[in-house]
Amino acid sequence: MSSATVIGQRIKTLREEKGIAREAFCNAVGITLSALSMYENGQRIPRDEIKVKIARVLETSIEALFFAS
């Protein structure tokens, strides 16, 4: 499994656990629905500034979200 796939699963799982709708998440992070879809499906890894915003919205650390094994 690629690191992009693992990261995407973490983003999706945390977003769903917190009950954040896709649209609300995209608005809070400042990304498009298509970008979120690519992240959650492991097709793309977010840029560093987007990683910070995602971690903040999901109330977790960048390390836990993107670098945990």
CA distance 59 to 1: 25
Query: Per the structure, how many domains does the chain have?
Result: 1
pLDDT of residue 1: 77
Mean pLDDT to the nearest integer, 11-40: 98
Report which secondary-structure segment, H or E, holds 11: helix 3-17
What's the CA angle centered on 14, arms 33 and 50, to 5 degrees? 50
Q: Is pLDDT at 10 greater than 80 in this prediction?
A: yes
For residues 67 and 11, the model is more confident at 11
Q: Does the pLDDT value for residue 50 go beyond 80?
A: yes
Tokens at 56, concatenated: 């903040």
Mean of the per-residue pLDDT values of the chain: 94
CATH number of the domain where residue 52 is located: 1.10.260.40
Instruction: Give the DSSP per-residue string, 26-56.
Output: HHHHT--HHHHHHHHTTS----HHHHHHHHH
Q: What is the pLDDT of residue 69?
A: 62
Residue 25's domain comprises 3-67
Write down the pTM of the prediction: 0.91
